[in-house]
Chain A
Amino acid sequence: MSFQEWLKDDSKVILFDGGFGSELIKRGLESGKIPDILNIEQPEVISEIHRSYYDAGSDMCQTNTFGSTPLNLSHHNLESQVEEIIENALNNIKKVRPSGCLIVGDIGPTGEFRPPVGHASSDQWYSSFSTQAKLLEKGVDLWHIETISDLEEMLAAIKAVRDVSKKPIIASITYKKTKRGFFTIMGDSLEKCIEALNNENIDVIGANCTLGSKDILELLKIAKSFTDKPISVKPNAGQPVVKGGKTYYEQPVEDFANDICEMIEFGVKIVGGCCGTSPKTIMEIRKIIDSI
Chain B
Amino acid sequence: MSNEEFYNSITKAIVNLDEEKAIDYANMAVKEKMNLLEVIEKGFAAGIRKVGELWEEGEFFLPELMRGAQIMQNCLDLIIPYLQDASEKVSRGKVVIATIEGDIHSIGKTIVATMLRAYGYDVYDLGADVPAEKIIEEAVKRNADIIGVSALLTTTMFGQKKVIELLEEKNLVNKFKVILGGAPVTSKWVEECNADGFAENAVDAVRLVKSLLD
Contacts and interface: CB of A to CB of B under 8 A. Distances in A.
B154 interface: yes
Interface stretch (A44-52, A113-121, A135-143): A113-121
B103 interface: yes
B61 A247 contact: no
Contacts of B70: 116
Interface string B119-161: 0000000000100000000000000000000000111111100
Given A186-B61, A187-B63, A29 B155 contact: yes
Contacts, number: 72
Contacts of A292: none
Interface string B64-93: 101100100000000000000000000000
Q: Is the interface of A mostly helix, strand, loop or mixed?
A: loop
A164 interface: no
A76 interface: yes
A9 interface: no
Contacts of A185: 61-62
B104 A117 contact: no
A3 B26 CA distance: 60
Max count, chain A CB within 10 A of own CB: residue among B67, B107, B154: B154
Given A32-B101, A113-B107, A240 B154 contact: yes
A179 B62 contact: no
A76 B104 contact: yes
Nearest to A242: B189
A2 B131 CA distance: 49
Interface residues of A, number: 26
A179 B54 CA distance: 11
Interface in B186-202: 186, 188-189, 192
Residue from B63, B189, B192 having most chain A Cβ neighbours under 10 A: B63
Interface in B146-181: 153-159
B104 A32 contact: yes
Given A31-B156, A31-B158, A32-B102, A247 B184 contact: yes
Given A25-B155, A247-B154, A116 B63 contact: yes
A187 B62 contact: yes
B44 to A, nearest CB: 18
B58 A178 contact: yes
Given A32-B129, A116-B67, A241-B186, A180 B58 contact: yes
Nearest to A188: B61
Contacts of A30: 102, 155
Contacts of B107: 113, 117-118
Contacts of B154: 25, 240, 242, 247
A180 B103 CA distance: 32
A245 B157 CA distance: 9
A32 B102 CA distance: 4
Contacts of A179: 57-58
Contacts of A166: none
Contacts of A117: 62-63, 66, 107, 111
A183 interface: yes
Contact of A31 (B62, B155, B186, B188): B155
B35 to A, nearest CB: 30
Interface string B36-62: 000000000000000000000111111
Interface string A242-261: 10010100000000000000
Interface of A: 25, 29-33, 75-76, 111, 113, 116-118, 178-180, 183-187, 240-242, 245, 247
Given A31-B155, A113-B62, A116-B70, 20 more contacts: A25-B155, A30-B102, A31-B153, A31-B158, A31-B159, A32-B101, A32-B102, A32-B153, A76-B104, A180-B59, A184-B61, A186-B61, A187-B60, A187-B61, A187-B63, A240-B154, A242-B188, A242-B189, A245-B158, A247-B155
24 contacts: A25-B154, A25-B155, A30-B102, A30-B155, A31-B153, A31-B158, A31-B159, A32-B102, A32-B103, A32-B155, A33-B102, A76-B104, A113-B62, A116-B70, A117-B62, A117-B66, A117-B111, A179-B57, A180-B59, A186-B61, A187-B64, A242-B154, A242-B188, A242-B192
